[in-house]
């Protein structure tokens, strides 16, 4: 849970347009697979136009948390949850929610770049097409805009019809980003998006994130504390399924409230 | 005496190479033997005329038509059911006692001798459902016979599609059905086609099961409710009853060439699908 100290500071870092109403509110959220609890009573807000980094050692529930926000865990028969996740004040787990629509509003980028075995173009227009968009000119525009936003357009503009699998790992990850952006989501979930990438590709993804921040709320799960420090506004530290602390990145990294946080950040475990 | 690793390697390669040679060699020998004996008798009139005097003379046109009808119908019924079952088992349900029963049943079905299927088809489709000796009886019997092959090969092909593709598809806001049809089946298609081609081969060459269900008339089937004799059964009858070995080999040649043509066509179709999917 954020305290009032954090609330006061956010407007300073995210600019004048900042509105205090959270985009996503997570309330008393717990999750389990079979009977193993992986998340315990998480309370967290994600604000519009902020980059929230989630850090913590492996199997701390970071990915489960992320996959809960767009209900991808639902697909696992062993998954069960309690609590609430509100998107613009509406519970995403309520029965009348259109789940495909929800997933278009909350886009996700995975750790391993996964291009579908089609052309670059078909990869990007897949989501929009499945949502019913048929107009060729609209799709063309989407491809160009999303590739530009993902800092990939200049590299692939002449070979949109080529198989996406021919791209390098870093390019594929940016293609995956473009594919999500084509759906014009409101929230972007990034699950260790740079874990398998070289430093230059990582820099390009981070470059894209800076731009994207002006339009989306971004949640970045990362194993790389340095990345969290340089590419986020706020940082949440997850340990063994619990949210240990959440605050402004600068504060979490320079003056963490909890001993465990400071030990993790300084590399004593994890 | 110890054999050096390099020599072990050489021996292994030679050994494996000869095993492969035996496989291909036996196949080639059978095909060559039959085609050598049969091809001289395969004339245009043999392909286009009806048999005369029990098949001692004339051609096999009604058998070609019957074979295509029985096999075609069997695959037309079996493929949707089989692929549908595979989709259900892999994408729409979790592993449970029920799916194990379905899978176990399919595996048992695959091990049953075809004459048993023939007997079942004769009693069930022929007598209980009243289709008698007919193309439809034969086709439905073959359907049950090839279903396990189609289910299991389709299931393998669908399972081989990376789980990450499903995550990506869901993440982009597709429904389960869109995910299955646009992503999974598109990638699994070559594997599914392989299963279908295998089952075409199995139905086209089946003798025992069709003898008891499709009948053994020499007449041309005019509809799927007419009896029909397939090429494989015709070959069996001609040789078993010593009617004409020349005609039997000619029939076998036509059968082999038909299977070859179907496989090549299916292979070509598959290549095209794969190329288009990329």
Pick from A103, A112, A179: which is nearest to B170 by CB? A103
Reported as type and span, the H/E element at residue A109 is strand A106-109
| Contact (CB<8Å) B173/A130 | yes
DSSP B90: I
Provide the residue ranges of all domains of chain B, joining segments of one domain with +: 5-41, 44-277
**Test mutation, A103, A111, A117, A187, chain B, max B CBs within 10 A:** A117
- Does A141 reside within a domain? yes
Query: Which residues of chain B are under the pLDDT cut of 70?
Result: 274-278
Of A102, A114, A163, the CB nearest to B278: A163
For A75, which of B170, B173, B183 is closest by C-beta distance?
B170
Q: Count the Cβ atoms, other than its own, within 10 Å of residue A169.
A: 13
**Cα nearest neighbour of A69 on chain B:** B171
Judging contacts by C-beta atoms under 8 Å, the chain A residues touching residue B164 are 110, 112, 114
Tokens of B192: 């599914």
Name chain B contacts of A107, Cβ cutoff 8 Å.
171-172
Instruction: Provide the CATH number for the domain around residue A228.
Output: 3.40.50.300
| A257: in domain | yes
Of A101, A112, A117, the CB nearest to B278: A117
A100 in contact with chain B, both atoms CB, cutoff 8 A? yes
Query: What is residue B243's predicted lDDT score, i.e. its pLDDT?
Result: 87
* Whether B276 contacts chain A with CB within 8 A: no
Q: How far is A23 from chain B (nearest CA, A)?
A: 19
In this complex, is the C-beta atom of A269 within 8 Å of any C-beta atom belonging to chain B? no
Q: Do A117 and B173 touch (CB under 8 A)?
A: no
Q: A183 and B173: CB-CB below 8 Å?
A: yes
Instruction: Determine contact: B178 vs chain A, CB below 8 A.
Output: yes
Question: Which tens digit of pLDDT belongs to each residue from A138-176?
Answer: 999 999 999 999 989 999 999 999 999 999 988 999 999
pLDDT in tens, chain A (270 residues): 444 444 444 444 444 444 578 999 999 999 999 889 999 999 999 998 899 999 998 888 999 999 999 999 988 888 999 999 999 999 999 999 999 999 999 999 998 999 999 999 999 999 999 999 999 999 999 999 999 999 899 999 999 999 999 999 889 999 999 999 999 999 999 999 888 788 888 888 888 888 888 888 999 999 888 888 888 999 999 999 999 999 999 999 998 888 889 889 888 776
- Neighbouring C-beta atoms of residue B251, cutoff 10 Å: 31
Instruction: Tell whether A236 is covered by a domain.
Output: yes
Q: Please report the pLDDT score of residue A268 as a whole number.
A: 79
Helices and strands: H and E segment counts in chain B: 12, 2
Q: What is the pLDDT of residue A82?
A: 92
Distance from CA of B89 to the nearest CA of A (A): 14
Give alpha helix (H) positions in B160-244: 163-171, 176-178, 185-204, 208-211, 231-240
Establish if A113 touches chain B: CB-CB under 8 angstroms.
no
CA B56 to chain centre: 29
Q: Is the dihedral of CA A85, A90, A96, A98 positive or negative?
A: negative
- Note the pLDDT of residue A9: 46
Asked, for residue A48, whether it belongs to a domain, the answer is yes
Half-sphere exposure of A221 (CA within 13 A, CB side): 22
Nearest CA in chain A to B95: A77
Touching check for A260 and chain B: CB below 8 Å?
no
- Residue A72 and residue B183: Cβ atoms within 8 Å? no
Separation of alpha carbons B253 and B60, rounded Å = 12
Q: Measured between alpha carbons, how far is B153 from B83 in angstroms, rounded to an integer?
A: 9
Domain membership of residue A270 (yes or no) is no
Task: Give the model's pLDDT for residue B211.
Answer: 92
Contact flag B172-A127 (C-beta cutoff 8 Å): yes
Residues spanned by the domain of A249: 4-265
A109 strand-pairing partners: A190
CA distance to partner chain B, nearest, from residue A191 (Å): 12
Query: In Å, how far is B165's CA from the nearest CA of chain A?
Result: 7
Q: Does B93 touch chain A (CB under 8 A)?
A: no
The number of distinct structural domains making up chain A is: 1
Asked if A163 and B164 come within 8 Å (Cβ–Cβ), the reply is no
Cβ pair B209, B134 in contact under 8 A: no
Query: What is the rounded CA–CA span in Å between residue B166 and residue B259?
Result: 36
State how far the Cα of A63 lies from the Cα of A46, in Å rounded to an integer.
Answer: 16
**CA-to-CA distance for A227 and A213, rounded, in angstroms?**
15
- Residue A179, domain member (yes or no): yes
d(CA B206, CA B117): 11
Between residues 144 and 173 of chain B, which touch chain A (CB distance below 8 Å)? 162, 164-173
Q: What is the pLDDT of residue B125?
A: 95
Q: Are A8 and A209 in contact (CB under 8 A)?
A: no
Contact B167, A114 (CB under 8 A): yes
Q: Per the domain annotation, does A259 fall within a domain?
A: yes
Query: A126: distance to nearest CA of chain B, Å?
Result: 8
Class of domain B44-277: mainly alpha
* Cβ contacts of A245 within 8 Å, gap of 6 or more: A236, A237, A252, A256, A257, A258, A261
């Amino acid at each position: 849970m954020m305290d009032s100290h954090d609330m006061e500071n956010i407007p300073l870092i995210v600019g004048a347009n900042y509105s205090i109403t959270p985009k996503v509110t997570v309330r008393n959220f717990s999750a389990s697979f079979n009977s193993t609890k992986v998340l315990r009573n998480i309370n967290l807000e994600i604000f519009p136009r902020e980059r929230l980094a989630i850090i913590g050692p492996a199997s701390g529930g970071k990915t489960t948390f992320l996959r809960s926000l767009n209900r991808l865990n639902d697909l696992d028969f062993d998954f069960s949850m309690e609590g609430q996740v509100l998107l613009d004040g509406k519970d995403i787990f309520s029965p009348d929610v259109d789940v495909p629509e929800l997933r278009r509003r909350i886009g996700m980028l995975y750790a391993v770049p996964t291009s579908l075995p089609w052309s670059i173009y078909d990869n990007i227009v897949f989501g929009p097409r499945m949502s019913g968009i048929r107009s060729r000119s609209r799709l063309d525009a989407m491809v160009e805009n999303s590739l530009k936003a993902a800092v990939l357009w200049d590299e692939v503009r002449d070979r949109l019809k080529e198989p996406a699998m021919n791209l390098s790992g870093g390019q594929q990850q940016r293609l995956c980003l473009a594919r999500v952006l084509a759906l014009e989501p409101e929230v972007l979930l990034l699950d260790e998006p740079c874990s398998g990438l070289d430093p230059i590709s990582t820099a390009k993804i981070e470059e894209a994130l800076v731009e994207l921040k002006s339009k989306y709320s971004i949640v970045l799960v990362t194993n790389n504390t340095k990345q969290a420090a340089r590419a986020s506004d706020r940082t949440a530290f997850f340990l063994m399924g619990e949210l240990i602390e959440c605050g402004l990145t600068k504060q979490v990294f320079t003056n963490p409230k909890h001993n465990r946080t400071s030990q993790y950040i300084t590399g004593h475990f994890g | 005496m110890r054999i050096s690793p390099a020599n072990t390697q050489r021996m292994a390669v030679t050994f494996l190479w000869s095993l492969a040679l035996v496989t291909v060699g036996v196949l080639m020998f059978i095909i060559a033997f039959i085609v050598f004996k049969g091809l001289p008798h395969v004339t245009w009139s043999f392909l286009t005329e009806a048999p005369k005097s029990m098949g001692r003379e004339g051609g096999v046109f009604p058998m070609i038509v019957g074979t295509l009808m029985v096999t075609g119908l069997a695959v037309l019924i079996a493929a949707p059911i089989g692929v549908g079952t595979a989709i259900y088992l892999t994408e729409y349900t979790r592993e449970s006692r029920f799916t194990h029963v379905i899978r176990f049943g399919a595996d048992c079905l695959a091990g049953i001798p075809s004459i048993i299927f023939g007997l079942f088809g004769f009693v069930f489709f022929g007598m209980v459902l009243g289709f008698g000796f007919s193309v439809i009886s034969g086709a439905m019997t073959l359907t049950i016979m090839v279903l396990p092959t189609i289910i299991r090969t389709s299931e393998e092909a669908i399972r081989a599609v990376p789980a990450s593709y499903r995550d990506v598809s869901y993440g982009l806001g597709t429904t389960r059905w869109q995910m299955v049809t646009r992503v999974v089946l598109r990638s699994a298609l070559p594997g599914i086609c392989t299963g279908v081609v295998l089952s075409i081969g199995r139905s086209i060459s089946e003798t025992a099961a069709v003898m008891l269900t499709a009948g053994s008339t020499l007449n041309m089937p005019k509809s799927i409710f007419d009896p029909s004799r397939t090429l494989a059964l015709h070959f069996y009858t001609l040789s078993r009853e010593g009617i004409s070995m020349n005609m039997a080999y000619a029939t076998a040649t036509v059968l082999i060439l038909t299977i070859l043509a179907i496989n090549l066509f299916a292979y070509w179709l598959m290549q095209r699908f794969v190329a288009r999917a990329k």
